[in-house]
Amino acid sequence: MEIIAQHGTTFMVLACLFGFFMAWGIGANDVANAMGTSVGSRALTITQAIFIAMIFEFAGAYLAGGEVTATIRKGIIDAEVMAGHPELMVYGMLAALLAAATWLLIASMQGWPVSTTHSIVGAIVGFAAVGISLEAIHWDKVGNIVASWVVSPLIAGTISYWLFISVKYLILDTEDPFHRAKRIIPLYMWLVGFMISMVTLVKGLTHVGITLDLGLGDEFADAALASALIGLLVAAFGAVMLRRVQEVPNQRNRFESVERVFAILMVFTACSMAFAHGSNDVANAVGPLAAVVSTVQSGGVISAKSAMPWWILMVGAVGIVAGLATYGWRVIATVGRKITELTPSRGFAAELGAAGTVVIASATGLPISTTHTLVGAVLGVGFARGIGALNTRIIGSIFMSWLITLPAGAGLAIIFFYIFKAIFGFE
């Protein structure tokens, strides 16, 4: 307790700096994933994507990022094991933030889309296993996270594959694809509105403590009904916008006008995915930060959950925006352009497939990774065009970076943990 009292201010300053660094890494890497399909399909320029993400990621992180969050990230470690030595909790969370942020910086420099969740999870497991004890870790939780390596891309890839096949069958392979698109795309717009609303209502607003009660007796059913109505509004608004799109004859590419119709759809998905992502993944940065702040302010009392001060969410939200604006373009280029060639119709299938996966996971409790989901969705669209449409070298490097993420986070966290322990001491 004396170490906490003596160095409390220093710990909080370091936690804020490392939390901001981690949020910067999320912005540079994870947010770029969400924007990659929109940019790669040329529905949005990189500048437009960054501008949209800055607004909607910030709104999602700050407004729906959560008043109460689990500070022991994902329930991976047992808080009671460290009750007699709260300084170990502080060292560990500081080490986890710095380690995960460092790995995200390295991955972003290489253009690798890695999981920010796996980065922070690997870091927490690393310091807990070596610095405290193996018994302090809930290994069943870790097993679920490892399972998400397979579950996330498989589900998203399958959904996106069949979505793009439906686009080919219903629109692209018909005699008059442009007019067919103007009739069919409002149905897809309804689906976009429905799925994105579900992501936001099920995964986002619950953090704020807002729940829907439409009299159906089930939260998920209430969210589904509200999302269906929102989907109708989106479809109606989209149908009005589609009237402005006129067919431009092009002898070389008969689908150019069709893709302009899908480009309108991609703007909707980009805004909504950014909000949903911000509300969910800001916790990777502010969860450990809140754990340090809570432990210091309570004089060394460790709690599994704590109130989330508004300024902590602000640190996370600003950090995410800064990361995306300064360095996000590298990962955007990988996801959007290097895995497979994307057009607005393909990007729509990938983005909606990813959103659908998040909704399915929310309803069933399946473990998922946002990054793996989005990359899997892009792969699914590529497979729909044939294996030759995929850049296997880039895919190989992405898979390798996924495998490295957990041990990289763990190894760095162990090093940083012992450095903090050596600097500040141990009671």
- The per-residue b/e assignment along 368-404, b for 16 or more CB within 10 angstroms, e otherwise, is bbbbbbbbbbbbbbbbbeeeeebbeebbebbeebbeb
Say how many CA atoms lie within 13 Å of 174 toward its Cβ: 17
pLDDT of residue 30: 78
pLDDT band at 24 (very low <50, low <70, confident <90, very high): very high
Number of helices (H) and strands (E) in the chain: give both, helices first: 14, 2
Q: What's the CA gap between 129 and 369, in Å, rounded?
A: 23
Task: Say if 6 falls within a structural domain.
Answer: yes
**Which helix (H) or strand (E) is 254 found in, with range?**
none
pLDDT, tens digit (0-9, with 9 covering 90-100), for 6-19 = 777 888 889 999 99
Say if residues 343 and 164 touch (Cβ distance below 8 Å).
no
Q: What's the CA gap between 56 and 317, in Å, rounded?
A: 10
Which residue stretches of 41-73 are H helix? 46-64
pLDDT of residue 73: 47
Who wins on pLDDT, 329 or 251?
A: 329
Is it the case that residue 101 has pLDDT exceeding 90?
A: yes
pLDDT band at 27 (very low <50, low <70, confident <90, very high): confident
Say if residues 24 and 9 touch (Cβ distance below 8 Å).
no
Who wins on pLDDT, 201 or 320?
A: 320
Task: Say if 198 falls within a structural domain.
Answer: no
Task: Say if 192 falls within a structural domain.
Answer: no
Task: Say if 214 falls within a structural domain.
Answer: no
Interval 294-314 mean pLDDT: 70
Task: Say if 242 falls within a structural domain.
Answer: no
Task: Say if 279 falls within a structural domain.
Answer: yes
* Number of folded domains that form the chain: 1
- Parent domain of 330: 2-175+256-424
Least confident of 128-137, 249-258, 325-334, 415-424: 249-258
Task: Say if 204 falls within a structural domain.
Answer: no
Task: Say if 301 falls within a structural domain.
Answer: yes
Query: Structure tokens of 83?
Result: 């009750």
Of 368, 367, 374, 369, whose CA–CA distance to 331 is shortest?
374
User: How does DSSP classify residue 69?
Assistant: E
